[in-house]
Amino acid sequence: MRKTKEILRLKFEGGLGNHTIGRALSVSASTVWDTVARFQATGLPWPLPPDLTEAALEARLYRRQGSHEANPARVPSWPGVQAELRKKHVTLRLLFEEYKVEHPDGYQYSWFCERFREWRKTIDLVMRQEHTLGERVFIDWAGDTIPVIDAGTGEVRPAYLFLVVLGASNYTYACATARQTTADWIGAQVQALEFFGGVPRLIVPDQARALIKNPDTYDPQPNRLYDEFATHYGCALLAARPAHPRDKPKVENAVLVVERWILARLRNRRFFSLMELNQAIALLLVDLNQRAFKKLPGNRRSAFEQLDLPALRALPAKRFDIFRWKSAKVNIDYHVEVERHWYSVPHGLVRERTDVRLAASTIEVFVRGRRVASHLRSGQAGRHTTDPAHMPESHRRHLEWTPGRIVRWAEQTGPATGELVAVILASRPHPEQGYRSCLGILRLSRRYGPERLEAAAVRALAIRARTYRSVESILRNGLDRQPLPDAAPAGPARRHANLRGGSYYE
């Protein structure tokens, strides 16, 4: 007690600061602060009463919490104080002043601070970590897997358990995935944010290769898809350092809790699909989040509704569409190849290197960060998806021609011209092979006029002349103005003595 009295003397008589007293007496400044705070909490005057013994002073300074709390109604709810302290801009001094408004005859500030700090020491270490409300979620995979049986083949495949935990409330989400690919990582996080009903400011993952392009202790870089996921939801990514589980202790502890309260309960059940397994996990997850805390009032669900939920930001209107990227070069036919299907881009980009984003139902093509094409995704291998706007003008005009359109155009000249064009197109193995010949015939009307072309078509049909050269020859030689050749005689064959019948050859 001699050093204690010396601290008090230097403080109240000498008026020295805590650091100066600490250096003078070879003790820490925090020890000086604690001693002074304890003394002020006793309400004793300085100088000390002459009849106060050292034993009595020690008892007044260092008695246990609660030994002098005769009126429990004046003692604040320390869990409530801690919950309020986590809120933005809230300080212990503000909470004390609010306490004094409610209890004007309550304890003083030094007692308030001292008792709160003593109470925090009685709580589990993980629970005592400070987490700003709605600020962080921690993600990880459980070490153990769950067997899933293929109902068709009987093959047993492992399912991986994915966990997400909110920092302030410990509210937990879990689901099973078939693999641990980038799509599985991000898809599970999308489901977790929808489960929480909001978005935190930070997501703390491992530096898994599926998420982090360049793992590094100081400057880890997320891959392109994970970065776009964070941009879509307006949150930041803060990857934990490799081999530093203390960077995300919340989820490390949640792994143990989930393995004990979910995996252990499912150990004797058999699952035949991932959907069936996730339905079972969802039911047990409700029970897990509603289990009462051991050392704090309430449970994960109530803490989430009180602490984290009000601080989360709203989900975006559209769900994040999981996709993947690939690089592709534009072919000379202004198409890029994606999974053996060809998609068009503007024809001016021939031989350019592009980035293709593949979503579930669409593909988008980017050149130097600018989107140049978008198509519905097709599963037909070896086929083409072409936007006419991407084609050169000459190709676009050619694409507009169809057999029906050419026939209708020819009929404007006359029915015989339309019939001749239809016969030419039908005579080719592929109608496109007759396009050039038909268009050449129709152009002859510019030189000879539509009346002569119609007459030439009548003659061409009569003599079975089904080429451009034949029709052009008829017009050049004026045969369209000549009468048609006589048709072959019709009716029964003539009888004549010199004609032999079928009986002659018997």
Whole-number pLDDT of residue 225: 87
Same domain? 148 vs 186:
yes
Q: Report if residue 140 sits inside a domain.
A: yes
Looking up residue 246, the CATH number of its domain turns out to be 3.30.420.10
Same domain, 78 and 58: no
Residue 214's SS3 state is strand
Task: Tell me the one-letter amino acid at 344.
Answer: S
Check whether residue 190 and residue 294 sit in a common domain: yes
Six-digit token string for 451: 């009346």
Among residues 327, 306, 167, the alpha carbon closest in space to that of 248 is found at: 167
pTM of the predicted protein model: 0.52
Does residue 128 belong to any structural domain of this protein?
A: no
Residue 197 belongs to some domain of the structure: yes
By DSSP bridging, strand 202-204 and strand 236-237 are parallel
User: Can you read off the two tokens belonging to residue 478?
Assistant: 């004026």
Q: 248 and 111 in one domain?
A: no
Please tell me whether residues 330 and 205 are part of one structural domain: no
Cα–Cα distance for residue pair 401/413, rounded to 1 Å = 18
Per-residue pLDDT of the chain (506 residues; tens, 9 = 90+): 677 888 888 888 778 888 888 887 788 888 888 888 888 888 888 888 877 777 777 777 776 444 444 456 677 888 888 777 777 667 888 888 888 888 887 778 888 888 888 877 776 444 444 567 878 889 988 888 999 998 888 899 999 999 999 988 889 999 999 999 888 999 999 999 999 999 999 999 888 888 888 888 778 888 888 988 999 999 998 888 776 666 667 767 778 888 888 888 888 899 999 999 999 999 999 999 998 887 777 899 998 998 889 989 999 999 998 888 889 999 888 899 988 898 999 988 988 999 998 887 889 999 988 999 999 988 888 888 888 888 887 666 666 667 888 888 899 999 999 999 999 888 877 666 677 788 889 999 999 999 999 999 999 999 888 889 899 999 999 998 888 876 544 445 555 555 555 454 44
160 and 299 housed in the same domain = yes
| 47 found inside a domain | yes
Verify that 6 and 141 share a domain, yes or no.
no
- 344 found inside a domain: yes
Q: Quick one: 30 and 76 in the same domain?
A: no
Q: Considering 15, 31, 62, which residue would you say is the last residue of a domain?
A: 62
Q: Indicate whether 147 and 229 sit together in one domain.
A: yes
Cα-based distances in Å from 192 to 210, 255, 344, 404, 463: 18, 16, 37, 56, 79
Structural domain tally of the chain? 5
Q: Evaluate whether residue 467 is within a structural domain.
A: yes
Structural domain boundaries enclosing 263: 136-311
Is residue 446 one of the residues assigned to a domain? yes
Residue 44 and residue 141 share a domain:
no
Q: Are 148 and 217 found together in one domain?
A: yes
Q: Tell me: do 341 and 307 sit in the same domain.
A: no
pLDDT value at residue 70: 43
The pLDDT assigned to 494 comes to: 55
Residue 273 is predicted with a pLDDT of: 92
Whether residue 233 lies inside any domain: the answer is yes
Q: Report whether 206 contacts 239 (CB < 8 A).
A: yes
DSSP 364-387: EEEETTEEEEEEE----TT-EE--
What distance in Å separates the CA atoms of residue 303 and residue 86, rounded to the nearest whole number?
A: 12
